[in-house]
Amino acid sequence: MSAIKKLFGIVWSLMGIGIVPMVIMQAMKEIAAKPSEENWIFWSIVIVVLMPIIAFSLIIFGVFALKGEYDVIK
């Protein structure tokens, strides 16, 4: 079980890292195609609020998991 937890740690970290360029590129693509106010509002919320939370928490969580911090949970 510990090995699986550690292995998934890599997955979480990679997901956290991968989400940043993916979201930014999608935002740029959509805003370039239609630079409307609603597009700006939507992507600002996603980039400023949602993306950092997902990225940071997944990366740190993944690193902890990889280091075996969750092998024994109280």
**Residues lying near another protein in the complex (CB under 8 A):** 4-5, 8, 12, 36-38, 41-42, 45-46, 49-50, 53, 57-58, 60-61, 64-65, 69-70, 73-74
CB nearer to another protein: give 31 or 70.
70
- Minimum separation from the CB atom of position 51 to another protein (A): 11
- HSE-CB for 14 with a 13 A CA cutoff: 6
CB nearer to another protein: give 21 or 38.
38
